[in-house]
Amino acid sequence: MTKGPTFLQAFLLTICGAALAFFGCLGALTTMGRDQQNMLGTVGGLGFVAGLLMLMVGMVLLAYVIIRAIVRAVRGETPSSPPSDPYPPSGRYGGTDPDSHDPKP
């Protein structure tokens, strides 16, 4: 079990934050030259701010994942693999079939 985000999670958070910031900016810019306040501009501005926050958090997590991978590579550590069989075969009822843990009828 890994502690912290995976590369895919950090990458997706970064990409989604950039997309939200981009389209939020477009929504906010649609109302720039108008005299009246438009709801689209408000929602776009809030989306832009939320997207920027997501983008920054994603970039920090992406840097963390990359630095963690470099440190593990330098130390020679390998990622821990899950156990091959969480339920080893039981000899309690005389059965050695790894898929059956119930008593034989």
List C-alpha distances in Å: 56 to 10, 16, 25, 104. Answer: 11, 11, 16, 58
> CB neighbours of 60 closer than 8 A, spacing ≥ 6?
none
Q: Residue 5 corresponds to which amino acid?
A: P
- pLDDT score of 46: 92
0.85 exceeded by pTM: no
The model's pLDDT over 8-49, given as tens digits with 9 standing for 90+, comes to 999 999 999 999 999 999 988 888 777 667 787 888 889 999
Residue 61's pLDDT band (cuts 50, 70, 90)? very high
Tens-place pLDDT, residues 70-84 = 998 898 877 666 556
Q: Is 9 exposed, middle or buried (0-12, 13-18, 19+ CB in 10 A)?
A: middle
